[in-house]
Chain A
Amino acid sequence: MTAPNVVTVRGVTKIYQQGEINVTALNDISLDIKAGEFLALMGPSGSGKSTLLHIIAGIDRPTSGQCLVQGVDVTQLNESELADWRNQNVGFVFQTFNLIPVLTASENVELPLLLTRLSGRERRKLVMTALELVGLADRARHLPKQLSGGQEQRAAIARALVTDPNLIVADEPTGNLDSQSAQDVMQILQSLSRSAGKTVIMVTHDPKAAAFGSRSVHLEKGELVNGDASPPRQHAGVAVTK
């Protein structure tokens, strides 16, 4: 049986206005992403891959087109609805980790849960589960500056996971990591897709990182060049270089 679509992008166009010049970042993009897929969005700088990721994750709006995520057209939600939707449905992993420097690893992971009605005890339990999942339970009380880059990114993944969203979006998650840490991070993302059934969408330049994905799509100048054509590749264990 074919897995249902988690993300359905139809005719999405994004035009930025820079002074009097219109810059087309995305041009009539259509894309389907199925549940449990680990999709690598690839392309050169300025190809629109991050813009597409941002639109799917509900932190940017297209100029036109439709973006359905789990049946919800995120382009139609207002600011507050989008904020709630992101909290419940999307986990973010950024290239520069983006942990809050004054909070410990566990407190950073707890941040999205402060918006829920969970008790302190329930929150702490979920936080520890997420940290254990990424192998960082023993660093729970460390501040970001006391963690290595790989550990920071794992804490960021734990923060993305803690609300148990169906969709994880990662923007160049290995861009700031050494090869070993990058491989660790990619393995975690891969296992989230394979074992936990999460849909992972990752933007990357790196073909070796993309190889961890089940599918990759390429963008150039705001257009998909191979659409859904790339065959899934199982490539766990390949050394990923920065």
Chain B
Amino acid sequence: MTTAGFIIRNALRNKRRAALTVLSVAISCGLLVTLLTLQRELTIPPESEAASLRVIVRNKVSLAQPLPAKQLAALDRIPGIVAVSPFSFFGGNFREETVTSFAQFAVDPARFAGLIVEGKIVDGSYENFINDRNSCLTGADTMKRYGLKVGDRMRFTGTFYPVDLDLKIAAVFEGTVDDRGVFFHHKLLDELLGDPGTVGTWYIRVASAEVANDVIARVNKAFENTAAEVRAETERAFQMSFISMLGNVKLLIGSISSVVVFTLLLVTVSTMSMAIRERFRELAILKSLGYRREELFSFILAESFGLATLGATVGIGAAWAFWTFTDLQQLTRGFLLYFEVTPRIVAAGAFVAVVLAIVAAVAPSIAVARMSVVQGLKTLD
């Protein structure tokens, strides 16, 4: 017999309790990892170098308020802007779907080419997209997801606008942070809506990151005291403003995570305390045989550590496998594009489990250390 074997036998002596403890730690760790990943995905939007050069201009009143199309001429004159295009979110449901599982935007194709510089055309031709008013530029992820090819038609039922779209795929792009979107001619949207003379937002590329703040200030100033004052902001700030609409997500998820960890701690401490209390007499016997306090503490710690580690491995491993091998776009109806359980998050989950194991072992160890052999022997006498 080895000391390790003795510890394992002790840990597994009540198999049902050990299994339930491992399961509770596993579920809690899995949940914690999921929450941390969700927090990361929601609060840290994907970034690219090109994104830092892009500015989005929206109505100062609200994102839902359109902007006059005639603002384009004024924007073209602002120094530091190298490309600008209307950028109107269509929000249609593809085919028979009942939710918008990927975004569609109406753009000016000729101007838009100067905006998504990090993307590349992998199938079809951008020229065809420019030349055909009823065509669209589709992201590679969406093509793959729906098994589409160039020349296929994409039909959308409008949800924001009272019109439907029937588009022919002219080209496929990839290489952007979100290769799901579909872009089509703003002129087509104008035509379908009876030429209202409005756009949802303006999408701008600035000459360099250094001038971005100046450009933002100039754009905001250019439309001050007009019927449609604007709010210009970087693409990242714009994405963050979407997140802020969800409330203080970071605080909310952080609070839920804390509750999960605290509950996990209570469960584990309670289990370990119960397991050790049942064995007070045996621990007293071990003391009488010559085992020191620190040796008994190491037994308890090893047992607690073993159960917590096993639970954490199962929980974190299951969460990683689930989020890695699940079709997240399908599962979340396109709400989440990425849900990456990063090594940092795995490490955070494992760290919590280790701390948990130590904390759970401390209380029973103190009780055992304080217990005299005589007291322990009387426990069941």
Contact B286 A111 (CB under 8 A): yes
Interface SS of A by simple majority:
helix
Contact A114 B372 (CB under 8 A): no
Q: In the assembled complex, which residues on chain B have CB atoms less than 8 Å from the CB atom of A80?
A: 292-293
Contact B10 A83 (CB under 8 A): no
Write out, one digit per residue, whether chain A residues 116-151 have a CB within 8 A of any chain B CB (1) or not (0).
000010000000000000000000000000000000
Interfacial residues of chain B within 294-312, with CB under 8 A of chain A in the complex: 295
Task: Identify the stretch in A102-110, A183-191, A193-201, A205-213 within 8 Å (CB) of chain B at 4 or more residues.
Answer: A102-110
Instruction: Using A79-B292, A88-B290, A101-B13 as known contacts, say yes or no to A96 and B381 having CB atoms under 8 A apart.
Output: yes
Question: Which A residue sits closest to B1, measured CB to CB?
Answer: A107
Contact A112 B374 (CB under 8 A): no
A94 to B374 CA separation, bound complex (whole angstroms): 12
Q: In the assembled complex, which residues on chain A have CB atoms less than 8 Å from the CB atom of B374?
A: 54, 59-60
Q: At the interface, yes or no: B205 with Cβ under 8 Å from chain A?
A: no
Q: At the interface, yes or no: A63 with Cβ under 8 Å from chain B?
A: no
Q: At the interface, yes or no: B377 with Cβ under 8 Å from chain A?
A: yes
Contact B1 A103 (CB under 8 A): yes
A-side interface residues, number (CB < 8 Å) = 27
Q: At the interface, yes or no: B288 with Cβ under 8 Å from chain A?
A: yes
Contact B282 A59 (CB under 8 A): no
Q: How many A-B residue pairs have CB under 8 A?
A: 64
Q: In the assembled complex, which residues on chain A have CB atoms less than 8 Å from the CB atom of B372?
A: 59-60
Interfacial residues of chain A within 33-63, with CB under 8 A of chain B in the complex: 54, 57, 59-60
Q: At the interface, yes or no: A87 with Cβ under 8 Å from chain B?
A: yes
B-side interface residues, number (CB < 8 Å) = 25
Write out, one digit per residue, whether chain A residues 148-161 have a CB within 8 A of any chain B CB (1) or not (0).
00000000000100
Q: In the assembled complex, which residues on chain B have CB atoms less than 8 Å from the CB atom of A57?
A: 288
Most buried by A among B1, B9, B289, B295: B289
Instruction: Using A94-B377, A102-B10, A103-B9 as known contacts, say yes or no to A110 and B1 having CB atoms under 8 A apart.
Output: yes
Cβ distance A54 to chain B, nearest Cβ, rounded Å: 5
Instruction: Using A59-B373, A60-B372 as known contacts, say yes or no to A100 and B282 having CB atoms under 8 A apart.
Output: yes
Q: At the interface, yes or no: B335 with Cβ under 8 Å from chain A?
A: no
Q: At the interface, yes or no: A21 with Cβ under 8 Å from chain B?
A: no
Contact A112 B290 (CB under 8 A): yes
A4 to B6 CA separation, bound complex (whole angstroms): 40
Q: At the interface, yes or no: B285 with Cβ under 8 Å from chain A?
A: yes
A159 to B1 CA separation, bound complex (whole angstroms): 14
Question: Which A residue sits closest to B377, measured CB to CB?
Answer: A94
Instruction: Using A60-B372, A110-B1 as known contacts, say yes or no to A100 and B285 having CB atoms under 8 A apart.
Output: yes
Q: At the interface, yes or no: A84 with Cβ under 8 Å from chain B?
A: yes
Cβ distance B371 to chain A, nearest Cβ, rounded Å: 11
Q: At the interface, yes or no: A98 with Cβ under 8 Å from chain B?
A: yes
A57 to B281 CA separation, bound complex (whole angstroms): 17
Instruction: Using A60-B374, A110-B1, A114-B3 as known contacts, say yes or no to A86 and B289 having CB atoms under 8 A apart.
Output: yes
Listed by A's residue number, 25 A-B pairs whose Cβ atoms lie within 8 Å are A54-B374, A57-B288, A59-B287, A59-B288, A60-B374, A79-B293, A80-B293, A83-B290, A83-B292, A86-B288, A86-B290, A88-B290, A92-B288, A96-B380, A98-B377, A102-B9, A103-B9, A107-B6, A110-B1, A111-B286, A112-B289, A114-B3, A115-B289, A115-B295, A159-B289
